[in-house]
Amino acid sequence: MSLLVVGMSHRTAPVEVLERAALTGDAATKLLDDVHAAHHLAEAVVLATCNRVELYADAATFHGGVEEAGELIARHAGADLDAMTPHLYVHYEDRAVAHLFGVSSGLDSIVVGESQVLGQVRDALRLAQTSGSAGRVLNELFQTALRVGKRAQTETGVDRAGRSLVTVGLETVGLHVGGVAGRRAVVVGAGSMAALATATLRRLGAEDIAVVNRTSERAVRLAEAVGGRAVPTAELPDELTRADLVVSCTGAAGVVIPYEVMEAAVRTRAGRPLAIVDLALPHDVDPGVRELPGIAHVDLASLAEHPHVDDVADDVEAVRGIVAEELSLFAGSRLQARVAPTVVALRSMAEDLVSAELTRLRARLPDIDERVDTEVAATVRRVVDKLLHSPTVRVKELAAEPGGAEYERALRELFALDLRTVEAVARPDEGEVGR
């Protein structure tokens, strides 16, 4: 079994392709459910954000795993696999680990260093745990990735000033309406991105914040958290006529603010400027609205065109150092973990031999004193433990070095260990995930 990631992001695909491949609604959950019937994937985690869709897996075979992962993404996104393929990337083993560590640290985001991705990685793992598709391998990988991301945030300034798509989007179009302070704002959506948007708008001094969402309870909860207003979806057109700023991030499958609605709002606004930040994938706002008079519009496609890394360049290098360090530690621990079943099998075989010999001794000397019997048994076990100590410790150390697997194989050969026993020790939870 080997680690594998198949996916696409803003680095490999234009936003229109990402939109077609977006996993909306409960598509990610259904995808994970299908992993249980997969032939080549034993575990899986889906990471779907506004600028990426990725499937991480513990795969039995490389080619079979890649093919199956791509088919699952395409099927549940309702996209054409042939059209997606030129934009897909595949990372295997250490490269897959390094990629996830970079993602969780904010190095692979549109806004380098944005901290929201760490929560998205955590949510992806939680969803996989709930579906039963995340087992020992991916749990360990993602827990480590979360720790790496946290290190990046606490040990460097890569996420300073609350860098996020929201803040960069508002910086890009906010001057069109004279900044955020004192302005009326509308947030469309009530998910994690919307929560970030409302908090950011309040922090920057927005005077009035209206939250529009199809689920009124969530809108109320989000609005109350920032002293804003929850507005029914039917009243969105009216809010568009009064607002100075709009941040839309619903995750809906189709357009939420059509051109016709925005055109009607513009006529009522009589030339008053409006700034729109569309952070949804697929997009919430018809891109054609940018041609309307008085409208400043930014979306994921326009944000992705301009790198946002200059002011954190030194921190980026520091984060890369953290990722490299953690990758080395993780790779070493994985190699050592692969040796552990052989070591356990060896000690199990030794214990069986000791027990058999002690049974034989007791049969030959049925009248042996109990104290002597206990002392003999302890002595024999101490001798065996001392004989096995050095080779088992040394093989774990050597496992982390290049070619370390050969030492583990040699140990199995030297002691004639039953491979089936070793494999049983290696997969105690077999059957809990995958096939």
* Residue-by-residue DSSP string for 200-261: HHHHTT-SEEEEE-SSHHHHHHHHHHTT-EEE-GGGHHHHHHH-SEEEE----SS-SB-HHH
- pLDDT of 22: 85
- pLDDT of 431: 39
Together in a domain, 34 and 129: yes
pLDDT band at residue 141, thresholds of 50, 70 and 90?
very high
Is residue 174 scored above 50 in pLDDT? yes
- Considering its fold, how many domains does the chain have in total? 3
Question: Which pair of tokens denotes residue 168?
Answer: 């960069």
pLDDT band at residue 428, thresholds of 50, 70 and 90?
low
Nearest of 257, 271, 274 to residue 183 by alpha carbon: 274
Overall average pLDDT of the 415-427 stretch: 65
Together in a domain, 112 and 49: yes
pLDDT band at residue 1, thresholds of 50, 70 and 90?
low
Is residue 434 scored above 50 in pLDDT? no
C-alpha span between 118 and 143 (Å, rounded):
11
- pLDDT of 103: 95
Q: Are strands 2-9 and 295-299 parallel, antiparallel or unpaired?
A: unpaired
Together in a domain, 129 and 230: no
Residues written for the chain: 435
Residue 167 maps to a domain: no
Q: Domain of 99?
A: 2-162
Is residue 212 scored above 90 in pLDDT? yes
Is residue 433 scored above 50 in pLDDT? no
Residue 319 maps to a domain: no
Instruction: Please tell me which residue in 13, 50, 73, 276 is annotated as part of the active site.
Output: 50
Percent of the chain with pLDDT over 90: 49
- pLDDT of 430: 43
Together in a domain, 109 and 27: yes
Which is more confident, 6 or 346? 6
Residue 298 maps to a domain: yes
- pLDDT of 227: 93
Helix or strand (DSSP H, E) at 11 = none
Note the pTM of the prediction, 2 decimals.
0.71
Which tens digits make up the pLDDT trace of 311-351?
A: 667 788 899 999 999 998 888 777 767 777 788 888 888 89
Q: Are strands 245-248 and 274-278 parallel, antiparallel or unpaired?
A: parallel
Which is more confident, 33 or 415? 33
- pLDDT of 406: 76
Together in a domain, 221 and 301: yes
Residue 71 maps to a domain: yes
C-alpha span between 59 and 3 (Å, rounded):
6
Which is more confident, 317 or 426? 317
Which tens digits make up the pLDDT trace of 80-138?
A: 899 899 999 999 998 999 999 999 998 888 888 787 889 999 999 999 999 999 998 99
- Final residue of a domain: which of 127, 162, 197? 162
Which tens digits make up the pLDDT trace of 282-298?
A: 889 998 999 999 999 98
Active site includes 50?
yes
Helices 419-426, 313-364: inter-axial angle, 10-degree rounding: 130
Residue 141 maps to a domain: yes
| Residues 310 and 289 sit within 8 Å (Cβ to Cβ) | no
Together in a domain, 27 and 102: yes
- Final residue of a domain: which of 309, 337, 359? 309
Together in a domain, 139 and 48: yes
| Residues 125 and 140 sit within 8 Å (Cβ to Cβ) | no
Together in a domain, 8 and 155: yes
pLDDT band at residue 432, thresholds of 50, 70 and 90?
very low
Is residue 63 scored above 50 in pLDDT? yes
Please provide the average confidence, as pLDDT, over all residues in the chain. Answer: 86
Overall average pLDDT of the 226-244 stretch: 93
What CATH number did the domain enclosing 268 receive?
Answer: 3.40.50.720
- Number of neighbouring beta carbons within 10 Å of residue 148: 26
- Final residue of a domain: which of 136, 162, 188? 162
pLDDT band at residue 404, thresholds of 50, 70 and 90?
low
- pLDDT of 311: 61
